[in-house]
Amino acid sequence: MRKFKVGDHVERIGALVPVYMRDGVVTRIIPNDDAPEMFTQYEVNFNERMIATFYGPQLRLVSDPD
């Protein structure tokens, strides 16, 4: 089971995260079927300014859109 789904609002984890890349929305899931779940990648859109890809442990759920 994936940690996040498309549309989830997430926050990057870490002390050195720039303000403009702190909160975003998952726009795509890039699975790695040959590796553990922690190696699934998530494409995150940060307020239309930037799109970047992160592994699940680098993110946490901010709010559930349901």
- Structure confidence by residue, pLDDT tens digits, 1-55: 678 999 999 999 988 898 888 999 999 999 888 888 888 999 999 987 799 999 9
Question: Both tokens of residue 7?
Answer: 């549309």
- pTM summary value: 0.84
Residue-level pLDDT at 19: 86
Residue-level pLDDT at 66: 55
Distance CA 42, CA 61 (A): 12
Model confidence at 65: pLDDT above 70: no
Residue-level pLDDT at 59: 95
